[in-house]
Amino acid sequence: EAGVAQSPRYKIIEKRQSVAFWCNPISGHATLYWYQQILGQGPKLLIQFQNNGVVDDSQLPKDRFSAERLKGVDSTLKIQPAKLEDSAVYLCASRPPGQSPYEQYFGPGTRLTVT
């Protein structure tokens, strides 16, 4: 079974530029998550999708971050404009529907450096 795919793996941009990340979850996984992991910390949930609907985006900085999952499969996360404090690894995870223990499967992440 193919895992969660993310691209790009690495991205370096200057502050105030825009950037987009892509995630393709495991086939059949209805729930998709985007996390931000700053160096030395645990992942922080940014947004949770159930199919193509948003379940939780309470921690998404909506003035600069946006995410979509138009067809309920792959998803994009965008930052516009980027700030220095956005430097982090952005992790995408997916979960199969209604299956305990509700284990999430993580992709390799995109490491963003804002200079």
Partner 1 sequence: GQNIDQPTEMTATEGAIVQINCTYQTSGFNGLFWYQQHAGEAPTFLSYNVLDGLEEKGRFSSFLSRSKGYSYLLLKELQMKDSASYLCAVLDSGYALNFGKGTSLLVTP
- Tell me: cis bond preceding 101? Omega within 30 of 0 counts: yes
Min CB(16)–partner 1 separation in Å = 27
Give the CA distances from residue 12 to residues 15, 19, 60, 104, 107, in Å, rounded to whole numbers and listed in that order: 10, 9, 21, 28, 19
Report the C-alpha gap between 92 and 44 in whole angstroms: 11
Q: Given the complex with partner 1, which of 46 and 82 has the nearer CB atom?
A: 46
Q: Given the complex with partner 1, which of 20 and 45 has the nearer CB atom?
A: 45
Q: Given the complex with partner 1, which of 29 and 81 has the nearer CB atom?
A: 29
Q: Which residues form the interface with partner 1 (CB under 8 A)?
A: 31, 33, 40-45, 48, 55-56, 91, 100-109
Min CB(33)–partner 1 separation in Å = 8
